[in-house]
């Protein structure tokens, strides 16, 4: 953790925030579900990151805000900022002086790895650090949720904001009264290495707006609630598999297969024609342990793939983008501080 120097103003700050992969419970972290039934998810942060840098403008720049991401914005007021998350984070943590904000990510947006929440969390962390203060992971997660869900009316769950803030391998419990409990998994080092050695992210080359996909979830339907209850019930099972003395990848594959088959029943928007064909090809190759991470409709498949099956994948999908991933134990943090 970076320490702040008293009586000195920050000239620039850079934060690094990890993306996440989900293992169980996705969909139960939406308020329309957990406020009635309580929600639970298991997820882990990975070595794919989003970087946010905030720096003071030089005096020669005329604009108050300069934002550089996939687009570049030059603005003199908050209301002019097109980037919704950046605008609302700046409303929350007001900065008086002219600044530049630069955003860079290892993974594309709308890919199911919590990229928008990584941005909200990383930017809030950077803004507080720029002002010379330290915000707790709980505070950053709560404020990121409020901005994305309450202010911007994004149809979203809460697991992404909490994963990005806390980092690590966690079971998050979303209580009916909005309280969130963080319970780190007790997974031994041997199992952790074995798990990530056999996990791959496979890019479908399909981006999608998770809020639009999730807005089609019918939380008033008894069938939808039933599916989500089945998904929630597998959280304990998944936890037990991961915390066993010896990790059984076959058991985990079956959990992935089960949750993917249930998830497809929640909304017709989750599986496009292209995603279905992709899924069928994986099955033909004998890869049963896979599931779309995030709301569905595109993004990444998370797969349990051993070396033999990985070789098959590389032969069958020569242009396929397969990512090796490693475990990241830390959440959002200040990477660098430069003082005047």
Of 153, 149, 201, 191, nearest to 174 (Cα)? 149
Q: Which residue has the higher pLDDT, 184 or 260?
A: 184
pLDDT score at 6: 64
| DSSP one-letter code for 327 | B
Instruction: Read off the pTM.
Output: 0.94
Residue 17 has pLDDT above 90, yes or no: yes
Domain borders along the chain are 10-186+328-339, 189-324
Cβ neighbours, 10 Å, residue 196: 17
Supply the pLDDT for residue 7: 62
Sign of CA dihedral 154, 74, 334, 113: positive
> Which of the residue ranges 100-104, 177-181, 195-199, 285-289 would you say has the lowest mean pLDDT?
285-289
Report how far residue 324's alpha carbon sits from residue 114's, in angstroms, rounded to the nearest whole number: 18
Percent of the chain with pLDDT over 90: 67
The CATH code that applies to domain 10-186+328-339 is 3.30.230.10
Q: How far apart are CA 50 and CA 68, in angstroms?
A: 13
CB 97 within 8 Å of CB 58: no
Lowest mean pLDDT among 19-23, 234-238, 304-308: 304-308
Q: What pLDDT band is residue 292 in, cutting at 50, 70 and 90?
A: confident
pLDDT for 25-37, tens place per residue? 999 999 999 999 9
9 Cβ contact list (under 8 Å, min separation 6): 132, 339, 340
Torsion of CA 249, 252, 254, 257, to 10 degrees: -120
239 contacts 44 by C-beta, under 8 angstroms: no
> Would you say residue 5 has pLDDT above 70?
no
Torsion of CA 204, 110, 323, 305, to 10 degrees: -60
Greater confidence (273 vs 333) lies with 333
189-324 — its CATH code?
3.30.70.890
Tell me what pLDDT residue 249 has: 95
pLDDT of residue 106: 94
- pLDDT for 321 equals 83
């Amino acid at each position: 953790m970076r320490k702040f120097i008293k009586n000195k103003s920050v000239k620039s700050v850079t934060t690094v925030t990890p993306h996440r992969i989900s293992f169980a419970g996705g969909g139960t972290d939406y308020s329309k579900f957990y406020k009635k039934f309580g929600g639970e998810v298991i997820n882990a942060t990975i070595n794919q990151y989003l970087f946010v840098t905030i720096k003071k403008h030089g005096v020669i720049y005329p604009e108050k805000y300069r934002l550089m991401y996939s687009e570049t914005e030059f603005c003199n007021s908050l209301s002019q900022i097109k980037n919704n998350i950046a605008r609302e984070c700046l409303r929350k943590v007001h900065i008086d002086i002219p600044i530049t904000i630069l955003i860079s990510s290892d993974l594309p947006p709308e890919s199911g790895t919590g990229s928008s929440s990584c941005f909200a969390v990383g930017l809030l962390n950077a803004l507080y650090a720029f002002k010379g203060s330290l915000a707790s992971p709980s505070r950053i997660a709560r404020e990121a949720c409020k901005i994305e869900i309450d202010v911007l009316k994004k149809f979203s769950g809460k697991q992404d904001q909490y994963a990005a803030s806390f980092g690590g391998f966690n079971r998050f419990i979303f209580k009916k009264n909005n309280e969130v409990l963080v319970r780190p998994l007790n997974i031994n080092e041997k199992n952790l290495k074995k798990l990530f050695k056999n996990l791959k992210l496979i890019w479908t080359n399909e981006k999608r707006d998770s809020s639009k996909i999730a807005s089609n979830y019918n939380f008033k339907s008894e069938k939808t609630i039933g599916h989500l209850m089945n998904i929630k019930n597998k959280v304990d099972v998944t936890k037990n598999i991961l915390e066993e003395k010896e990790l059984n990848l076959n058991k985990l594959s079956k959990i992935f297969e089960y949750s993917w088959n249930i998830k497809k029943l929640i909304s017709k928007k989750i599986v496009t024609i292209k995603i279905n064909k992709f899924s069928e090809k994986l099955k033909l190759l004998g890869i049963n342990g896979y599931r779309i991470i995030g709301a569905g409709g595109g993004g990444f498949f998370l797969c349990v793939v051993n070396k033999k099956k990985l070789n098959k994948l590389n032969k069958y999908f020569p242009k396929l983008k397969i990512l090796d991933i490693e475990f990241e134990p830390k959440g959002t943090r200040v990477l660098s501080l430069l003082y005047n």
